Chains A and B, each alone.
Chain A
């Protein structure tokens, strides 16, 4: 698995899409954290959620994952990928793991940068800062969210294959369909994988994520539910990938 994992990470690193998306994630996260630190006056109770949850890597990593796997079909590189790794399930597993790892690392590096920036600005303004323990826990929650969404994005992209449909569908589900449905049927859609569960894993309050007063799952339980979504979509994608002819 290690050579395949290395190859998948190398694929990601050697395209401008990844560099652009990573730069966007870093830029937007630092911009939000900087503006909130400079322009608001958070209290001791709200500072963690207000300033230190601005890591946007989860959004970008799921798009990157969908683009990464569906791009194999778009550019027809799936053939050379499967010639190098004829075991199709291992190939899919390597890609899933690679995006999970990259999501984790990207999120950690952004969250730590956000934390450093937030601490500098808040300290300079004599405003309260969170304890290191609770900050570390928050960073861990957000990194877990990015890791799970990276893996989930690969499985979704492998199911859909058409890059445009996959990306547009992802954005529609994340920003329109799921937020509306969770408001209508919260007991069902709090188990939905694009917004509700990731928000719960990140331990960010529902109202701060635009989900109103929905009672989200606890982070640990939400992570298990996300893992179940990943396992389910991975299984279906793997079966389809194995059955497909690559003409």
Chain B
């Protein structure tokens, strides 16, 4: 059995003749924030809903620690969820909305006030939800996800409706949850935001996996990580790297090493007593990578 906190294994789903998701597999590890990216209509929401048992998959399986969501004993204590179209009864107050969910999940009422405080809605807790702004509704949805203090968070476009301060707050929340050892799977179309928040990335288009791995790996493209290095003795450095099997190309007075990390290049240079004047990881922006990977759908 996989040690992943979340495992998507060969999920497929068609709606009539439309293949929404095709044989999709990836994992989300504990203690890391995984960005789930794709153009509109790529199948992100369908995938998350299949993972949560809201949509029946045609084949494949989504699981949390090896268990399907519907088989979890106290699901809200293990998985916190924010879906893109989080909806509320307009006539119910924010606090009462959470009280209902707390009752269903067997969480004490005290948790309601704790999560309201955490998302900054204490002052509006007794107001009816129909008077909430979009950002307040999003915070309420996040509060609901945090009610059971879950080990896994699944968030579909959680930054929707948040103002810049709210987005920063969300980023800090994601990082704090990962720092506590929790797994966070977050879908988003805000690439710049994702780039600042995530450890790992999964990119899909047309329902199929296009790339997955650490942010560095995905940004490195097909060659993997790319390192640019400058040395006082560039010819000697090129020879050392070549002997070690590191492919290099000369570029504007520097050496570029596709497929090698700065750690490897730096270690080889140090081992041979070579002084370096520059050693950097060269990467595409996430936006470049995204458009390259999803070019046929974007």
Known contacts A10-B99, A83-B75, A246-B54; decide if A75 and B104 are in contact (CB<8 Å): no
Known contacts A87-B70, A246-B54, A17 near B99 by CB under 8 Å: no
Q: In residues 1-16 of chain A, which contact B (Cβ within 8 Å)?
A: 3-4, 6-7, 10-11, 14-16
Instruction: Check if B81 sits within 8 Å of A247, measured CB to CB.
Output: no
Q: In this complex, what residue of A is CB-closest to B69?
A: A86
A71-B89, A80-B86, A80-B87 known; A4+B54 contact, CB < 8 A:
no
User: In the complex the two chains form, what is the Cα distance from A14 to B93 in whole Å?
Assistant: 8
Contact with B along A78-117 (1 / 0, CB 8 A): 0111111111000000000000000000000000000000
Most chain B CB within 10 A, of A4, A17, A86, is at A86
- Asked whether B236 is an interface residue with its Cβ less than 8 Å from the other chain, the reply is no
Q: A14-B96, A87-B70, A245-B55 are in contact. Are A77 and B89 (CB under 8 A)?
A: yes
Q: Which residues of A contact B180 (CB under 8 A)?
A: none
- Contact in complex: A84, B91 (CB < 8 Å): no
Contact assessment for B72 and A77 in the assembled complex, using a CB-CB cutoff below 8 Å: no
Cβ-closest chain A residue relative to B96: A14
Residue A76 is within 8 A (CB to CB) of chain B in the complex: yes
Main secondary structure of the interface of A (DSSP, over half): helix
Instruction: Return chain B residues, CB-CB under 8 Å to A15.
Output: 89, 91-92
Residues of B with C-beta under 8 A to A7? 100-101, 103-104
Residues on A with beta carbons closer than 8 Å to the beta carbon of B69? 86
> Contact: A83 with B99, CB < 8 Å?
no
Q: Is the CB of A84 within 8 A of B104?
A: yes
Q: Is B192 an interface residue (CB 8 A)?
A: no
Number of interface residues of B (CB under 8 A): 32
With A86-B69, A246-B49, A247-B49 given, is the CB distance from A79 to B99 under 8 Å? no
Interchain nearest-CB distance for B131 vs A (Å): 14
B82-100 vs A, CB cutoff 8 Å, 1 = contact: the mask equals 0101111111110010011
Closest to A5 in B: B103
Closest to A12 in B: B100
Q: In chain A, what residue has the closest Cβ to B145?
A: A83
Q: Is B53 located at the chain interface by the 8 A CB criterion?
A: yes
Are A245 and B87 closer than 8 Å at their CB atoms? no
A14 vs B69: C-alpha distance when bound (angstroms): 28
With a cutoff of 8 Å between Cβ atoms, the chain A residues found around residue B267 in the complex are none
* Cross-chain pair count, CB within 8 angstroms: 78
Complex: chain A residue closest to B144, CB-CB: A80
In the assembled complex, the CB of A234 is this many whole angstroms from the nearest CB of chain B, namely 20
Shortest distance between the CB of B90 and any CB in chain A (Å): 7
Alpha-carbon separation in the docked complex, A80 to B53 (Å):
12
Which residues of the other chain, B, contact A85 by a CB distance below 8 angstroms?
104
Contact B87–A75 (Cβ < 8 Å): yes
**A79 and B103 in contact, given A84-B76, A86-B70 (Cβ under 8 angstroms):** no
When A76-B85, A77-B87 are in contact, do A245 and B106 touch as well, CB less than 8 Å? no
Bound-state CA distance A80–B129 (Å) is 15
A243 to chain B, nearest CB (A): 8
| A77 CA to B87 CA, complexed, in Å | 6
Measured between C-beta atoms, what is the minimum distance from A75 to chain B in Å? 5
Chain A residues with CB under 8 Å of B284's CB are none
A11 contacts B100, CB within 8 Å? yes
3 A-B pairs closest in CB distance: A76-B87, A7-B104, A86-B70
Knowing that A11-B92, A75-B88, A75-B90 touch, tell me 14 more A-B residue pairs with CB under 8 angstroms. Answer: A10-B96, A11-B89, A14-B100, A15-B89, A76-B85, A77-B89, A79-B85, A85-B104, A86-B70, A86-B72, A87-B70, A245-B54, A246-B55, A247-B46
Contact surface of A with B, Cβ cutoff 8 Å = 3-4, 6-7, 10-11, 14-17, 71, 75-77, 79-87, 243, 245-247
Q: What are 20 A-B pairs with beta-carbon distances under 8 A?
A: A7-B100, A7-B103, A10-B100, A14-B92, A15-B92, A17-B91, A77-B87, A77-B89, A79-B54, A80-B144, A82-B53, A82-B54, A83-B81, A84-B76, A84-B104, A84-B105, A87-B70, A243-B56, A245-B55, A247-B46
Q: What is B's interface to A at a CB cutoff of 8 Å?
A: 46, 49, 52-56, 69-70, 72, 75-76, 81, 83, 85-93, 96, 99-101, 103-106, 144
